[in-house]
Structure 1
């Protein structure tokens, strides 16, 4: 049995930041996550949905809606956040002694495999995973935290060339980059697992909902371990509503696009060097990420720094022009690019 691992520090720790730097939540500009600053309007959930256990027919209905929305070829498995599926990935290849993870990336993949005693091999690119022959390969596309992208043809070629290896693709930030998505191939390629996060694009991370696209055999393993009623009735109801409202989805895309431009402009005007980005966050070289993170926090602006790349911070999207000005001026004040 492996020893418990230290938890990873993620973005979104606003309560901890307040405990250290003071202020009320309303006084903070929290840019520490890659979650949309806008929430798709949700419907009123009927009382019966709260009282009753989720019906299997409703689970299938929402799965079908998710398949069409994401462009899949098979009905996905709804999970209580993709983190729940990440915890179970070692079960899919119980014989694996090694896993190749395109790094740096979302740290919970490494944690999950380490808990099962599986050796981690960090590789810089998907191509670099080819010669090491690890039975499992993990790629986030677009990648978190640096926004790196791997074109779909390259991903598809790797999957076809390595059919004996399980390839896990995390598409948590692909809602606005559908040209990268491998969802359509999942289910037809038995060695492919694609995970989609519902909460990031829709601004509903607190709902804890995600979808896994894979072969029936893989989904069966995950569903068996998750057990019945893994996803709540209210989460299913809100997802079903969201997938069906193309008008609201289009408005949300426009808001995110506008916020992305405002955030980029603020960073450029503050002299911050942008190294990478996705539609929902920026990855920036500020010289000393921890120092800048703490200096911004003293002014109640929260961003994310990283141990693996200490010069970097990740900055989420501002919700409006006033917040963009605040970010710009605060960055200027703390000298985000110290000489």
Structure 2
């Protein structure tokens, strides 16, 4: 499916719907009980226990040494060859927006269906964008974008196969926002390969706005120049340094969220759902009456993710506590 055109102007498009919009949920279901339980995102519902911030992280601008320390810890956590292979940003979304502006006009293949902002950003950058179902459909592309594990179906793409699918001199973009708690390959950057890693989803701290691109140093420098100075806040640097260095917490979180995902699968099956896929942080399922279930959940103050292009499917994030699990169970029964 053709998404954008290559005349320097992106096709006009409606705003892309995202999870987490509880304002829209309240408008749709004004009589639902409070507090709402937001299951519409893939954010870890059990956040990392941050230590207290030093007051200086708020009082002063982050220094180059502060940022360099974060990049060293991120390189070790993500398996990058060196801190020079790491660009830190205020969330991966800004990296998704910035990359297309640094690349000459290209034919871009986005393996989908997937996170819609990738195709939209490349189209806004004036590139010719096509949604393809797999790597075989990307044969003529100079840029190939894949999300692995994919949102919303959890599909995994091998990074070596992705790099082979790109012509010499081209670019492969691998968004691994959901890989931290999975058993899937955690890819390392190399020539022609950019890897995007999300901090907020894994650590349940999406509001801090922190993300990373792993790439060859020359591209890292261009990304950092495009983002400008002080792109990452002092509190985000402090949080990233603490959390990314805590390997034990990450292992425990992977095990705990795996148990939660299995529990959610059992509840979905009992409700007549068919699991399409997902990760340890979300599950996507098909239902015979998905619109009706979405309405019943909304009336009960539970917000899940629906997909206009796939009205038979719903995506469920993980409930954060016993009360939320019980509310979800009552509706699914």
Length-normalised TM-score, structure 2:
0.91
Aligned-partner Cα distance in 1 for 2:160–2:302: 39
**Do 1:275 and 1:284's aligned partners in 2 also have CA atoms closer than 8 Å?**
yes
1:239-288: CA deviation from partner (whole Å, max 9, x where unpaired): 10112223333332333122212212211222211111111111110135
Which residue number corresponds to residue 336 of structure 1?
none
Task: Trace 1:167-316 onto structure 2 (pairs within 5 A).
Answer: 167-177=172-182, 179-182=184-187, 184=188, 186=189, 189-316=190-317
Gapped runs of 5+ residues in structure 1?
A: 333-339
Aligned-partner Cα distance in 1 for 2:10–2:153: 30
Q: Structure 1 residues 265, 324: CA separation in 2 closer, same or farther (over 3 Å shift)?
A: farther
The answer on 1:11 being equivalent to 2:19 is yes
Q: Structure 1 residues 288, 24: CA separation in 2 closer, same or farther (over 3 Å shift)?
A: closer
Task: Give, in angstroms, the shift of residue 115 of structure 1.
Answer: 1.2
Aligned-partner Cα distance in 1 for 2:209–2:176: 16
Relative to structure 2, which stretch is displaced further, 21-30 or 202-211?
21-30
**Do 1:147 and 1:277's aligned partners in 2 also have CA atoms closer than 8 Å?**
yes
Q: Structure 1 residues 143, 311: CA separation in 2 closer, same or farther (over 3 Å shift)?
A: same
Q: Structure 1 residues 116, 246: CA separation in 2 closer, same or farther (over 3 Å shift)?
A: closer
**Do 2:163 and 2:192's aligned partners in 1 also have CA atoms closer than 8 Å?**
no
Q: Report the 3-state secondary structure (helix = DSSP H, G, I; strand = E; otherwise coil) of the residue aligned with 2:311.
A: coil
Which residue number corresponds to residue 59 of structure 1?
67
Aligned-partner Cα distance in 1 for 2:313–2:184: 27
**Do 1:256 and 1:280's aligned partners in 2 also have CA atoms closer than 8 Å?**
yes
**Do 1:269 and 1:328's aligned partners in 2 also have CA atoms closer than 8 Å?**
no
Which residue number corresponds to residue 126 of structure 2?
117
Q: Report the 3-state secondary structure (helix = DSSP H, G, I; strand = E; otherwise coil) of the residue aligned with 2:325.
A: helix
**Do 2:181 and 2:253's aligned partners in 1 also have CA atoms closer than 8 Å?**
no
Task: Trace 1:86-101 onto structure 2 (pairs within 5 A).
Answer: 86-96=96-106, 98-101=107-110
Q: Structure 1 residues 289, 136: CA separation in 2 closer, same or farther (over 3 Å shift)?
A: farther
Task: Give, in angstroms, the shift of residue 303 of structure 1.
Answer: 0.6
**Do 1:260 and 1:280's aligned partners in 2 also have CA atoms closer than 8 Å?**
yes
Q: Report the 3-state secondary structure (helix = DSSP H, G, I; strand = E; otherwise coil) of the residue aligned with 2:41.
A: coil
Which residue number corresponds to residue 3 of structure 2?
none
Length-normalised TM-score, structure 1:
0.89
Task: Give, in angstroms, the shift of residue 58 of structure 1.
Answer: 1.1
Q: Report the 3-state secondary structure (helix = DSSP H, G, I; strand = E; otherwise coil) of the residue aligned with 1:120.
A: strand
Aligned-partner Cα distance in 2 for 1:166–1:85: 15
Aligned-partner Cα distance in 2 for 1:39–1:168: 28
Which residue number corresponds to residue 335 of structure 1?
none
Task: Trace 1:123-134 onto structure 2 (pairs within 5 A).
Answer: 123-129=132-138, 131=139, 133-134=140-141
**Do 2:267 and 2:329's aligned partners in 1 also have CA atoms closer than 8 Å?**
yes
The answer on 1:69 being equivalent to 2:74 is no
Q: Report the 3-state secondary structure (helix = DSSP H, G, I; strand = E; otherwise coil) of the residue aligned with 1:311.
A: strand
The number of residues matched between the two structures is 323
Aligned-partner Cα distance in 1 for 2:88–2:31: 38
The answer on 1:142 being equivalent to 2:149 is yes
**Do 1:82 and 1:196's aligned partners in 2 also have CA atoms closer than 8 Å?**
yes
Aligned-partner Cα distance in 1 for 2:245–2:273: 39
Which residue number corresponds to residue 39 of structure 1?
47
**Do 2:258 and 2:280's aligned partners in 1 also have CA atoms closer than 8 Å?**
yes
The answer on 1:105 being equivalent to 2:106 is no
Aligned-partner Cα distance in 1 for 2:69–2:183: 23
Aligned CA RMSD, in angstroms, stands at 2.0
